Structures are given as C-alpha cells and as structure tokens.
Amino acid sequence: MTPRPDPRKPAFSGLGALPALAAALAAAAIYILAASEDPASAFRAFFLSPFTRPVVLANLVELAAAPCLCALGTALVFRSGDFNLGGEGQAYAGGTAAVLILLAVPSLPGPAGLAGGFLAGAAAGAATSLPSALSRRTRGADVLLSTFLVSQAVVLALDWAIAGPLRDPSSNLIATPVVSDAYRLPRLFPPSGLSFAPLLAAAAAFCLDRFLRTSRRGLELNLYGRNPAFAASVGFRVRAYAFWPLLVSGALNGAAGALLALGSNGRAVRGMTGGIGWNGISIALLAGNDPRWVLPAALFFAWLEVGSRQVSILAGISADVGTVAKALVLLLATARFLGSRRREARK
Amino acid sequence: MDPQPLLEVRRLVKTFPSTGTVALDGVSLVLKAGEIHAVVGENGAGKSTLARILSGLDRPDSGSLRVRGREVRFRRPRDAERHGIGLVPQQSLLAQHLTVAENLILGREPRVLGIFLDRRRSYYETALASANFSFPLDPGAVISRLSPPERREAEILRALARGRDVLILDEPTSILTESEAESLFALLKRLRDAGTSILLISHRVREVLSSADRITILRNGSVVDTLRPADTDECDLALRMASSSSCFTADGPAVTRGQAVFRFRGASLRDSDRVTLRDLDFEVRRGEVYGVAALAGNGLGALEDLAGGERTCDQGVVELLGRDLSAWPRDELRSSILSYLPTDRDGRGLCLGATILENLVARGASLRDWSRSGRAAQRAEAARLLEAAGVRARLDASVDVLSGGNRQRVLSARELGSFAPAVLAANPTQGLDPRAQEETWNRLRSLAREGAGILLLTSSVDELFAVADRVAVLYRGRLTELGVRSGEVTADRVTRLLTGAAA
Amino acid sequence: MTFADTLLSDSLAIALPILLAALGGLFTEAAGTLNVALEGLIVAGAFSFAAAAEATGSIGIGIAAALACSAAFAILAAAAADRLSANPFVAALAVNLLVAGAVGIASEHVFGTKGVVPLADLLSPRVDLGAFSRIPLLGPLLFRQRGISYLVAGACAAAAASYSSTPFGLRVRALGMREGSLRIAGVDPRTVRYWAFAASGAACALAGVALARSVGAWVPNIASGRGWIALVVVYLGRKRPAGLALASLAFGFLFALSNAAQAVLSVPPELILVLPYVVTAAAALLEGTGGARGSRG
C-alpha cells in the first residue's frame, strides 16, 4: 500500500477549499503590500475595483462563463475517476469549428446560426476527446496522458491552420475572417461584453447538478468514480461510465471555445484559448467537483483576473500576481488541512 | 537451567484504533537459541502483527522485547536488523523488476569510488550467501522471472543477510506447493542446525507438527499455550487454535433440495502460471446452504471470484441457474438473481466515500426508480433496512464513519434484504459481534428455506457448522466434499482437513 | 556548413536539454509519482540563471542559483503532496503555473520588463577544435557545439549513470516498484521521493541554463513546450535512459527540421512539431491495460 492518493482521484473537497482561497488572497495581499508604494489604493484596485463600476462587473461575469463550462465538464470527468487534461485543445477545436461553420453558411437567421455554431463547437470538442474516450473504454488506456497529447497535437495543428490556410490576410491579427454580425453573441448590457453566456453556464451547472444528484445514472457514475471495482461488482454499466463523461466534457470544452470565438472577436484568433483548459481544472478542483460551486469558483477566478489587470493598470503592479494566486489555489485545492481523514488501513 | 533466551516477548499489546481491533492482548513468548518455534493460530489471531512488531515494522502499544536478556526497542526495521532479526513477510516485499542481488543489498549497498554501486561485490556477496545455504539462486536473475519457491528463497536470503540470529517467517508456505513446502522445511532445519533460531508463523498444523521444536498457540490475540509437538497431535492443536472449541454435531437437517443454483463443472483457475483451483465439481441447490471452508492461501478468494462472476475459469464452467455465469448480463444478474456478500467488504462490497443511503440502494433493481417519488420510497426503505440491521446512523452520513461491524451490517442489509435465488456469502460475519452474527446466520438459513441456493465461503469452522447444510473443505485448491452435516462430519474433522492434517 | 551539417548539429543541441529534463522526470516516474512540472522547472532554472548571472557577472553563481531555485520548486510540489496530502499530479501542475506567475513578477523587478532581455555575455560560444571540427558530418556534430552543450551532455551521462548505477538510483527504482522493499531495508521512502524530485528540479535547471545560454538572452516562456516534450520522452523512451536518449534525439531532429523547413523544405514548420504528439498520442491510445478499470460486459 502506498500512502499516495491515486493521481486520478482528487479529493472532493467541498468547503475544504477555503484554506486554498485564503492562501491565494493572502499571497496576493502580501505581494501588493510589499511592491506597491501606495498599498491602500493598490488594494482597492485589486480587490474592490471590479465591483465599483457596473461595466467592469458585467465583464467579470461574462469572463467567468467559458471557464465555467470547461470546469463543469472537467468536474464530471473527475467524478468518474479520471482526469481530462485536454481542455485546451478541445476548446480550441470547438472555437475554430464554430467559426468555420458560420463562415460557410453566412446567411442563416442569427439565433439559428448561433445555435449551429455552438453545436458545431460542442461536436468538435467532443470529437477531440473521442479518441481518448474510445481507447479508455476498449483498452483501459490512460485518459490523463492521451487527452493531453491529443490536445497538444490539435493546438499545434490549429496554430498552423489559423496562421496559414484559414487566415484572413487582410487582418493584422493572426486570425480567421470575422463571422457575419448576425452571429455575434448579442450584448445584453453594452458597452460591457455581457451576453447570455453566463446564463448558459448557470443552466449547464444546474443540469449537471440535477444529473449527478437526482438521477440514477448520476448516482451510479459517482459511485463508479469512487470505486470502479464496487461498481462493476454490483452490476453498473461501467463501460459507459468510462466513456460518456469524457465525451460530454469534450463537448462542454468545445462549447466554451465557441463562446470565446463568437463572443469578443467573432473570429478564431491564434492562441485564443489562453489557458482556459488549465483554468477549468483549477476551478473544478476549487469547487470540489460540485457543479453548484463551479460558477462561484469561476467568478472567483474571473475576479482574480480582473483584479490583477486593474492593479497593473491602476497601481503599476505586475498582473502576474493573479497567476500566482491561481497557482496557489491549484496547489492547495486538493490538500487536506484537517489531518488525515482515516488512518491507513491495517495490513 | 535453560540457557538465556535469545528473544523474549513480554505482555505485548497492540490495538488498531481505526478498526477498533485488539490484535495482541498481552502476548508473551520465549524464543530459545537454536530452535524452530512455531506460532499457530487462526486468521486474525494476531500472528502477523507479532511478526511485524518483532521486525520493527510496527510498534507495540505496551509490553517489552528482550534480546539476550537486554531490553530493546525497535523503532524501524534497521533496529531489529542490528539485533540480528530478519523477517520473511507473508506478502512479498521484493522489488519485482530488480535482480536478486539488488534486492539483497538495498539499503546497504557496496560502492566503488564512493559513488557507484559495486555490482561485482554485490553479486559476489549474494552468490556466496546463496551457496552458503545451497540455494541455486542466480544473483543476476530478475525477481519477476523467478518461480515462487525461488522468490521465497530470495526473501529468506535477504532476511538472513540482515539478521543471522533470528529468522521470522510469516506464513512462508502459502504460495508453495506441498513438495516445495517440504524442501523449505528441510532448509529451515539446516539453518537451525547452523545456529539460526526460527520463528515460524503458520496456520497449517501438519507442517508445524513435523517441523517445529516448540509451538505457541495464539487465539484472539492471546497465548493459549506453548508446548512440544510430542505433547499434542493434529486434532488437539487444530481444536485449540479454533476460537470456539465446541464440537458441533447437529442433526442432519431435513433438506428438500431442488434445482441446481450454482453448478461448478471441472472449474480450474490459474494465477500467473500456478494452479489456484483444481477441477472443482459441485452443485449448490435451491433450499440449501452449501458451505466451503478454507484457510487463507488455499484458493477461497479465487473460488469467490468465480462464483461471483468477477473472473471466469480457465477450464471447465460455472453455471448459475443453468446458464453460464459469464453469459448473464451483469446488471440483471446482480439486481435480481445473485446476492453477493464479498470478503473484500470495503473494496468490492461497499463504496467508501459515498453515503450509507447510496450504499444501501446501489443494486441495479433498487436504483431503477430514482425519480423524486422513487427516491422518497427508496429512502424510506433504506431507513427501514438500516434500522432492522441495528445500525444507528444517519442515512446521509458517509459509510466511512461506520465501524467494520456496522459496515458489514449495511452490506448484509442491502444484499440479503430482498430475496434472490442465488446467494454468495463470503465470510459474511467478519467483524460482527455474536448477536449480529447469529442474525446474519438466521437470515441466510431463512433465505434457504424460502428457496434460495446459498454458497457460503468461510474461514471459520464455527460459521460453517452454524449455517451450512452440506459441507466441503478447500485445501490447496482442491475441494473435498464431506456431504451432509451430520454426526460424522464433526468440527474437528473439518479443522484437521483445513490445516492439512489427514482426515 | 552544409544543410546536413547544420541539421544534425542542431538536432543534437536541441535534443540534449530535452533529454536532461526527461532524465530528471525519469527519476520521479521511477519513484512512482511522475513530476509533471518539468516545463515550469526549466523556466525557473533559465530565469534564475539569467538573473543571478547577470547580477553577479558569474556564470557559476548563475548555475548554482538555477539549481537551487528549480530544486526548491520541485520540492514544493513533493511537499504539498507529502505534507498536505495534496494530489501530487495537481500540485505539480500548480507549480508550473506558480513559476509562470512568479517569473513574470520577478522579471519586472529584475529586468524591468516582462519581455525579452538580451544578455549577450551569457551566450555560450561555439568551440572550435580545428581539425576535428572539419571532419565531414561528425565534425560539426561533435566538435563545434556550444560549450554549454558539452556540460549538458556530461550532466545527461551523470544522470543516466546515477539512475542505473548508484545506490540512489537503485533506491528510487525500488521505491516505485514496491515501497515496502525500501522500508524493510531500513530506508525511508519519503526521503528517497524528495530527493528524486530534487533531482528532477536540478536536471531541469541545467536544461534551462542551456536554453538561456544558447540564445544569449532571457526569453519569457523560454521552454516553449520542451518540458512537456520531455514528459512525452519519458513515456516514449520506455523509461530507460537509452530509450529516452533515442526519443530525445528524434524530437531534436524534428525541431531542427522544422527550423530548417521554412527555408529549404516546403512543409510548414508547425506541422512538423505536431508529429511528436501525434506519434505519442497514437502510442498512448493503442496501449492499454486491457478493458476499462474494473469493467465487465
């Protein structure tokens, strides 16, 4: 028996994530205190400025939507006992696919086009996770490794494609052409970027929560994730649970990518996913893989991001303070502070 | 006057708070120089704990150890090593992809230039040691390629390389065949004659009687007696090991037996090129409890895997209600056909980390209706089951908080709460107090009366006699059917068979 | 130099740091917990080298700083797992992120920018062994590398030797195979695991130093995926030093090819870089333990 926890089974932390939050904020505060000439105003810029102006707040909420979708899928995979490390590539594929399909059919009615774009994004994300899911199901291959590798290959290939054959030569950005205006996410609260995306994320969180807590399959999936041998022994359909969560996670990541592409830019920009897959993992872990906490956790991350941006603009402090805070959250998200829960079983 | 004892153990106590078990309850024993001293006892009597404490892997709660009259304290294996004590553990602790020599020198590696491993010297030392004890071991052989007796020899070699004076062997023959075991005992005798004292931990009475100079009987963490082989015999020893020495001679039950539920036909199973189960042929019929008893290392776990459909046999076939067991859809099988109480309660029977409610409803059929109203009904049913099982806990509490006994109750409540035509009960009362044990046995019997065919696998003779209508014994992978429990099939006969003593 | 000369010589120069980082990763993999923070540890090493060497003017102090810094980050990941029972994999991912943030901050303080900092003094010159370096193919390949490459090659040899032929390497391997084999031998498994992580940090530090010295500058994201490639190398190289060397050389060749591709070949360089991932992904997808965990029909 090794005392190490199974790398594929992060602890379900629930409120256990509070120390992680506290550590992250404390680190940010200490750095600001040390580096700033005017700590008070820097504190205000970091912690409070996101809430002082409605436009900034609306942007913050919008910013949380896509990572929230990613985190929901990641949490679902965590619940099934696995680790989806391919969020980055799945989101990239989803965003690019959504743009390509909408460029191909430029004259649909707006809502239909948007729906189509999202579906295409979800399908592309799912397709990116499909090889891993299939080999997991049929060969028991390691999801952690295969999702990451496939994702990296997809990222590099899309980097090339967007810089090459798909590129809009008239633009300075390395990006595809822009989709028709009708397909842009409608803004609810201009000039902010707030769209219905956060509602979509909340709805997804609600559905996932209902599924996990009140459906038979959800319960079975949970139990399978905790103890596959048990699930197999009592007769659950373990092969399905080795397959579907990963596919759904891929679809959610793809949808998140579509959101990124159709939201701010209306086009697929090279490198547009910018670490959303990693953020999804952190958020899922911070939320203890509980869909009810994923949106709040995503908002917390968006706050860190906006806060660090503000502090760098307003107080000249490095915006990387937000990255450090996020890293600390991730470092401590699976830690246990209340002593070991159970002594190691005798043997 | 006796020479000064080599190793003396006084009133050792060891409890495991997490499981609430008292493994050793004031054990004292004396190992003299140059003897083979056997410690015998049933599973759970505390033998392995004793071995771990003597080799520094575990620390006792209280009590003392003396080596050559001097009190010592072992905090880590190296302390035991310093006093010449080496352990051959029950579960191999060899690194399987390293060579014999590498395993042997681990932790005290010879070096060249102060940096590099001295391969030549480690090979040389290993070859020398192995020649010394006439082991035909190649120092450069990788452990995973060795046969089980060779691995055992490598373990022994490692232990001897660390402690020349006292060799502790924990169930050394459990993976060996009979002839391999015999050559092991010949070796132990040679070692003894060369001056090494040996503490042999075993539950195989016959082996112990033929090889040991003295025998200490351990039962429920306490020493029953220490005696010489000449003063006892197989039956006596087996009975004194048993936690209850009463002989059950219940009347043959009036069984109205029906259709076969489990049917084993020539079923054999191999584990990494060794036969674990050999040609099993038996039937369990509706309306009866068929009990198979075995001690650890004799294939009971493999039999459980076969009967529970967790594995399929290499030869022959296992049928359930006339259909090949592996052909049953698992979902259907477990929801309405087969109730299964596994020995590995926490690994296979329960889902730790989940709530008691989830564990109670987690069987195909009961989960089918998990709508809001369905859930309410399930909850009420689960509450009823929990109360009937006598477990006082919230349904939404994690099953982890329950004691071992209560976990077993939750498991029984789920599996035996409703009727299924086939029941596989493997050590169904482990960790239960006598009253709960009695209740589980009653439940099994009443299920049989209702027409279920029950296959009981157990390592306790008491349990076998309390419930089984027909009795069989598994020893080294072979099944001996003793037929209907009656006057002739007595507990001591079964006990003798279990420990390899002649029937 | 001919095209072939450059290609081969560059392949080796690119392969060596990857191999060294991979050998570092091998120690942790063999000890049972693969350290996936290699990418971050390379960056940490490269940055602390650049900062310390620039500040003190001493390459030696720079290298020492790099070793200390990367090893400390690696030990942080190991300690989070050991002391706080954090998931070791997640902890290592966090260290990657932590390095990215910390280096960004530190760069602004030390160099006053988050961007590229040219540090010409740190550029490792190419050696020229006269007659030797004029041997066709072999000359440029073996005798006209940058000085730092020889140091890295030496470190690779030392790491490989330490893995397979020292007591430490033996203990690391035993730890991953069966922890109990160490405990019964009186060796504390936790100490061995910490040292394995420290070793991975030190190896990545030198890899980072090599990257910084071969461009003569501090470049943000200087590792640009080499740490991830190194993880892939551990896997593709079948966890044997010789296999790792082969896999690194193959990847070094691909990288060199992609650098040369723009000029000479008509294949887009990015697509060549996809190859290592595709190959390894195929290997990972096709290799399995046979059936889903605990699955049954």
pLDDT level of residue C262 (50, 70, 90 thresholds): low
Contact B241, B203 (CB under 8 A): yes
User: Are C166 and B106 within 8 A, CB to CB?
Assistant: no
Percent of chain B with pLDDT over 70: 91
Summarize pLDDT for B127-145 with one digit per residue, the tens.
988 888 778 889 999 998 8
Question: Residue A278 to residues A69, A145, A204, B148, C98: CA-CA distances in angstroms?
Answer: 13, 15, 19, 47, 13
Summarize pLDDT for B5-30 with one digit per residue, the tens.
889 999 999 887 655 567 888 899 99
What are B397's two structure tokens?
């509490």
Q: What's the CA gap between B213 and B71, in Å, rounded? A: 25
Among C183, C184, C187, C192, the residue to mutate for chain B (most B Cβ within 10 A): C184
CB contact A338 to B (< 8 Å): no
User: Are B96 and C177 within 8 A, CB to CB?
Assistant: yes
pLDDT at B169 over 70: yes
Sign of CA dihedral C95, C101, C103, C106: negative
> Mean of the pLDDT values across residues B317-328?
91
Q: What angle do CA B269, B271, B273 make, to 5 degrees?
A: 105
Highest mean pLDDT among A100-109, A242-251, A278-287 belongs to A242-251
Instruction: Evaluate whether residue C211 is within a structural domain.
Output: yes
pLDDT at A303 over 50: yes
pLDDT recorded at residue B365: 55
User: Are B364 and A235 within 8 A, CB to CB?
Assistant: yes
Q: What is the mean pLDDT of chain C?
A: 87
CATH fold of A14-333: ABC transporter involved in vitamin B12 uptake, BtuC (1.10.3470)
Amino acid at A114: L
User: Are C105 and A164 within 8 A, CB to CB?
Assistant: no
Per CB-CB distance under 8 Å, the chain A contacts of C267 are none
Q: B312: distance to nearest CA of chain C, Å? A: 11
Q: B116: distance to nearest CA of chain C, Å? A: 4
For residues B491 and A163, which has the higher predicted lDDT (pLDDT)?
Answer: A163
pLDDT recorded at residue B271: 79
Q: What's the CA gap between C173 and B346, in Å, rounded? A: 30
Highest mean pLDDT among B295-304, B368-377, C189-198 belongs to C189-198
Amino acid at B500: G
For residues B240 and B251, which has the higher predicted lDDT (pLDDT)?
Answer: B240
ipTM of the complex: 0.86
Summarize pLDDT for C5-28 with one digit per residue, the tens.
888 888 999 999 999 999 999 999
Helices (H), B212-363: 234-241, 300-307, 330-332, 356-361
- When divided into structural domains, chain C yields a total of 1
CB contact A17 to C (< 8 Å): no
Contact A277, A86 (CB under 8 A): yes
Q: What angle do CA B10, B15, B20 make, to 5 degrees?
A: 155
pLDDT at B51 over 70: yes
Q: What are phi and psi of C227, to 5 degrees?
A: -65, -40
pLDDT recorded at residue B251: 39
CB contact C228 to A (< 8 Å): yes
Q: What is the mean pLDDT of chain A?
A: 86
User: Are A145 and C284 within 8 A, CB to CB?
Assistant: yes
Domains of chain B: 7-241 (3.40.50.300), 260-351+419-498 (3.40.50.300)
In eight-state DSSP terms, residue C146 is B
> Mean of the pLDDT values across residues C49-57?
93
Mode of pairing for the β-strands spanning B323-324 and B338-341: unpaired
Summarize pLDDT for A50-82 with one digit per residue, the tens.
888 888 899 999 999 999 999 999 999 999 988
User: Are B109 and C297 within 8 A, CB to CB?
Assistant: no
Q: Which of A138, A320, A334 minimises the CB distance to C90?
A: A334
For residues B253 and C123, which has the higher predicted lDDT (pLDDT)?
Answer: C123
Helix, strand, or coil (residue B372): helix
pLDDT level of residue A8 (50, 70, 90 thresholds): very low
Partner chains of A (3+ C-beta pairs under 8 Å): B, C
What are C52's two structure tokens?
């310390």
Contact C140, C1 (CB under 8 A): yes
pLDDT recorded at residue B273: 63
Chain A residue whose CA is closest to B373: A214
Summarize pLDDT for A154-181 with one digit per residue, the tens.
999 999 899 888 888 888 888 888 888 8
Question: Residue B342 to residues B23, B133, B351, B361: CA-CA distances in angstroms?
Answer: 23, 42, 13, 17
Q: What's the CA gap between B16 and B26, in Å, rounded? A: 14
User: Are A332 and C289 within 8 A, CB to CB?
Assistant: no
Q: Which of C161, C180, C185 minimises the CB distance to B107?
A: C185
Instruction: Evaluate whether residue C240 is within a structural domain.
Output: no
Contact C228, C38 (CB under 8 A): yes
pLDDT at B1 over 70: no
Q: What angle do CA B162, B164, B165 make, to 5 degrees?
A: 125
pLDDT recorded at residue B17: 67
Q: Which of C161, C165, C181 minimises the CB distance to B95?
A: C181
Q: How many alpha carbons fall within 13 Å on the CB side of residue B148?
A: 19
Q: Around Cβ A346, how many Cβ atoms within 10 Å?
A: 14
pLDDT recorded at residue A9: 39
Containing domain of residue C102, as a range?
19-223
Q: Maximum CA pair distance of chain C?
A: 69
Helix, strand, or coil (residue B283): strand
pLDDT recorded at residue C292: 35
Strand order across the beta sheet in which B338-341 lies: B338-341, B422-426, B453-458, B289-293, B470-475, B478-484
> Mean of the pLDDT values across residues A266-274?
89
> Which C residues 75-104 touch A at CB under 8 Å?
76, 80-81, 84-91, 93-98, 100-104
Helix, strand, or coil (residue A298): helix
Cis check: omega of the bond before B77, within 30 degrees of 0 = no
Lowest-confidence region among A324-328, B205-209, B483-487, C83-87: B483-487
Q: What is the mean pLDDT of chain B?
A: 84
Per CB-CB distance under 8 Å, the chain B contacts of C170 are 98, 102, 106, 109, 117
Percent of chain A with pLDDT over 70: 92
> Which A residues 223-282 touch B at CB under 8 Å?
223, 226-227, 229-237
Helix, strand, or coil (residue A49): helix
CB contact B221 to A (< 8 Å): no
CB contact A265 to C (< 8 Å): no
User: Are A2 and C32 within 8 A, CB to CB?
Assistant: yes
Percent of chain A with pLDDT over 90: 42
Q: What's the CA gap between A63 and C236, in Å, rounded? A: 38
B88 beta partners: B169
Summarize pLDDT for A194-210 with one digit per residue, the tens.
889 999 999 999 999 99
Q: Around Cβ B175, how many Cβ atoms within 10 Å?
A: 19
CB contact A326 to C (< 8 Å): yes
User: Are C187 and B102 within 8 A, CB to CB?
Assistant: no
What are B388's two structure tokens?
């009937």
pLDDT recorded at residue A341: 37
Q: Which of A214, A227, A341 minimises the CB distance to B351?
A: A227
pLDDT recorded at residue A5: 34
pLDDT recorded at residue B78: 84
pLDDT recorded at residue C67: 97
In eight-state DSSP terms, residue A44 is I
pLDDT at C196 over 80: yes
Q: Which of B18, B342, B351 minimises the CB distance to A342?
A: B18
CB contact A343 to B (< 8 Å): yes
Q: What's the CA gap between B501 and B210, in Å, rounded? A: 11
Residues of C with CB under 8 A from a CB of B: 161, 165-167, 170-171, 173-174, 177-178, 180-187, 296-297
pLDDT recorded at residue A101: 94
For residues B400 and C45, which has the higher predicted lDDT (pLDDT)?
Answer: C45
Q: Which of B106, B116, B117 minimises the CB distance to C181?
A: B106
Chain C residue whose CA is closest to A9: C87
pLDDT recorded at residue C175: 95
B71 beta partners: B66
Sign of CA dihedral B95, B98, B104, B106: negative
For residues A342 and B322, which has the higher predicted lDDT (pLDDT)?
Answer: B322
Q: C94: distance to nearest CA of chain B, Å? A: 26
Q: Which of A31, A139, A285 minimises the CB distance to C290?
A: A139
Instruction: Evaluate whether residue C83 is within a structural domain.
Output: yes
Q: Which of C89, C108, C284 minimises the CB distance to A141?
A: C284
Q: What are phi and psi of C20, to 5 degrees?
A: -65, -45
> Which C residues 159-198 touch A at CB under 8 Å?
179
pLDDT recorded at residue A16: 63
Q: A112: distance to nearest CA of chain C, Å? A: 35
Contact C46, C208 (CB under 8 A): yes
Partner chains of B (3+ C-beta pairs under 8 Å): A, C
B29: left (phi over 0), alpha (psi -120 to 50) or beta: beta
pLDDT at B245 over 50: no
pLDDT at A1 over 70: no
Partner chains of C (3+ C-beta pairs under 8 Å): A, B
Q: Which of C161, C181, C296 minimises the CB distance to B103?
A: C181
Chain B residue whose CA is closest to C185: B107
pLDDT recorded at residue B282: 93
pLDDT recorded at residue B364: 60
Instruction: Evaluate whether residue C61 is within a structural domain.
Output: yes
Contact A246, A76 (CB under 8 A): no
CB contact B350 to A (< 8 Å): yes
Per CB-CB distance under 8 Å, the chain C contacts of B108 are 185-186
User: Are B346 and A214 within 8 A, CB to CB?
Assistant: no
Lowest-confidence region among B72-86, B174-188, B434-448: B174-188
Among A318, A336, A337, A343, the residue to mutate for chain C (most C Cβ within 10 A): A318
User: Are C181 and B93 within 8 A, CB to CB?
Assistant: yes
Instruction: Evaluate whether residue C177 is within a structural domain.
Output: yes
